[in-house]
Structure 1
Amino acid sequence: MADHNGNASGFVVEIVTNIFKNLGHSVHVEIYPWARALSMINSGQSDRIFTIFRTSEREKFLDFSNESIVNQKIYFYGRKSDKFAFNGDFSSLHKVRIGVLHNVSYGPEFDNARSKLLIDEANSMESNIKKLIAGRIDLFPSNAYSASYFINAPGNKDFADKIVQLPVPLSAVPSFLGFAKPKRLTELRDRFDEEVVKFFASDKYSELLIKYNVGDQYLRSSRKKENISH
C-alpha cells in the first residue's frame, strides 16, 4: 500500500523492512503495477518482490521464502444493489463479468476455473472498483486487506457506499517474499527464513498487529508446502 505521499507503507511493508533491518540490510520498497513488478524481477532489474503467491510458473524465476509472511483470504466484491450470492461454486459464475488484475493469482481455486469465466483485465485495483461502480464488470476478486484499504480510504465514501464483500471466501492463500533467481540470493533467502520465525515471536510483531488492527484472517500460515498454491 502507499501513503498519501506515494511511499510504500502498511502492515506487510513494516514486517519486511523490520526483518531485513534485523539482518543488517536496509531496503527500499517501491510500488509498481503488478505485471511490471513481475517483469522487473524476471529480468533481474529488481531483487525481491512481496507479497506473492507461490506458483510453479513463478518458481522458474523466483526463489521463494519458505516461511510465509501473511495469509491472505480472497473474496469477491460486487455492487450492493446486485445482491450476488456466491457459494463457492465457480460454475455458477459463467455469465458474470469478473474484473482481475493483470498477471495476478487469486489462489488455485480461482486460477483453475479462470478459463471458463468471463474475464476483464485491469492494471490497478482502483480501475476495477471504478469499472464495478460503472457497471462494466459485475465482480472482482481481491484479498480482504487490499480491498478494504482502497474501498475505505479517506475520500472514497462513494466506494464504501456502493461496494460489498461477498461472504464466502474464494480461498485462503499463504503469501511469500520472492528473491530474483538471477541475483543468486538463496543464502539471504535462508537467513530471511530464520529471521521470519524470530520476528513473528517478537514483541515488535505484536505491536504491529495492534497498530494495524490485523484480524486472524491475515495471520500467516505455518511452514507447510502442501498449503502453497501451484
Structure 2
Amino acid sequence: MAEALPPWNYIENGTPTGITVEVVREILKKINHPDTIVIYPWARAYRMTKDGSNNILFSMARTPEREPLFNWVGPIATEVVYFYKNKDKKLHIESLDDAKKTSMILITRGFPEQKYLLSKGFNNLFITLKTLNSLQMLARHKVDLIVSGDFTVKHFINKKKIEGTLIERVNIELLKFDLYIALSKNIPSNEVLKWQNALDQLKASGKYNEILKKYIGDSVN
C-alpha cells in the first residue's frame, strides 16, 4: 500500500506510479511476487500495516517512535526539506528568524514540517492541501516562501508542472529524514531480508538511479 504523495507514490491515468511504486515493482519482480499495489489514505494504510498482518506500506519516514512498530526495508531515499522563494523576490533569508519576518509562508497540511515550524514559533504559516498549489502561487508572486521536500520540487519541475527558472531554494535545511518500506511485524525476518536484498541489487544494478532520474531529472541541485 501507498498514499498519494508525489513523486514517491500517486495515481496517474488510474494506475499507481511514482519513484517508490516503481522501486517496489522491481522488487516484486525479483522475488516473484504479484503486483498488488494499491493507493489508500495514509491513516488507513498505516493502521492496517501496524495492527494487521502481512501488509506493506511505503514510503514511510523511519522515526524513533515508529521503529519498534514495523520491520524495515530501505532506505529508498533521503528527503531534505527547505524553504523556497521566487527568484525575482528580493528576500534575504539566512535564518529561521528571517523567515519568521516574512508575511506569508505556504505549507502542506499534515506534513512533518508543519509541526516542526509551529514548534519553532512561526505564526505566518498558511495551509494548502497540495505542494503543487504552493509552487504555483510562489511562481505568481502570491507568497513569500513555501516549504517543500527537495525531491518534490525536482519532480514538479521535471514534469513541467512548474517553471524551474522561477524557483530558488533557500539553503536552510529544515528537516531531513530517510524514507523506507514498512512491513507488518508478523512478516518473518527471512522475507524482510529477501526484500532488502532485492532493493540492494536494484541499487547496485543502476536501475534505481534510472527510476530517480525519470521522476526528478537534473532540475535542481
On whether the aligned pair clears a TM of 0.5, the verdict is yes
Instruction: Report SS of the residue matched to 2:193.
Output: helix
Q: What's the offset of the Cα at 1:178?
A: 1.9
> For residues 158-173 of structure 1, what are the structure 2 equivalents within 5 Å?
159-160=162-163, 163-170=166-173, 171-173=175-177
User: Match for residue 228 of structure 1?
Assistant: none
- Give yes or no for the alignment of 1:22 onto 2:30: yes
Instruction: Report SS of the residue matched to 2:15.
Output: coil
Cα separation, 1, equivalents of 2:26 and 2:105:
36
Aligned residue type for 1:75: Y
- Give yes or no for the alignment of 1:120 onto 2:126: yes
* Equivalent residues of 1:78, 1:138 under 8 A apart: yes
User: Match for residue 187 of structure 2?
Assistant: 185
Aligned residue type for 1:199: L
Aligned residue type for 2:13: N
Cα separation, 2, equivalents of 1:136 and 1:100:
14
Cα separation, 2, equivalents of 1:60 and 1:138:
40
* Equivalent residues of 1:42, 1:180 under 8 A apart: no
> For residues 217-228 of structure 1, what are the structure 2 equivalents within 5 Å?
none
* Equivalent residues of 1:85, 1:166 under 8 A apart: no
User: Match for residue 147 of structure 1?
Assistant: 153
Give the structure with the larger strand fraction: 2
* Equivalent residues of 1:120, 1:137 under 8 A apart: no
Normalization by structure 2: what TM-score?
0.70
Q: What's the offset of the Cα at 1:14?
A: 1.9
> Which of 64, 75, 86 is 1:79 aligned to?
86
* Equivalent residues of 1:64, 1:179 under 8 A apart: yes
* Equivalent residues of 2:83, 2:172 under 8 A apart: yes
Give the 3 Å change call, closer, same or farther, for CA 152–85 of structure 1 in structure 2. Answer: farther
Instruction: Report SS of the residue matched to 1:194.
Output: helix
> How big is the alpha-carbon RMSD for the aligned residues of Structure 1 and Structure 2?
3.5
User: Match for residue 44 of structure 1?
Assistant: 48
> Which of 41, 58, 64 is 1:56 aligned to?
64
User: Match for residue 102 of structure 1?
Assistant: 109
- Give yes or no for the alignment of 1:132 onto 2:134: no
User: Match for residue 196 of structure 1?
Assistant: 199
Q: How many residues align?
A: 203
Q: What's the offset of the Cα at 1:6?
A: 4.4
Give the 3 Å change call, closer, same or farther, for CA 61–84 of structure 1 in structure 2. Answer: farther
Q: What's the offset of the Cα at 1:164?
A: 0.9
Cα separation, 1, equivalents of 2:206 and 2:165:
39
| Unmatched tracts of structure 1, length 5 or more | 219-230
* Equivalent residues of 2:106, 2:126 under 8 A apart: yes
- Give yes or no for the alignment of 1:68 onto 2:70: no
Give the 3 Å change call, closer, same or farther, for CA 200–100 of structure 1 in structure 2. Answer: same
Cα separation, 2, equivalents of 1:60 and 1:210:
33
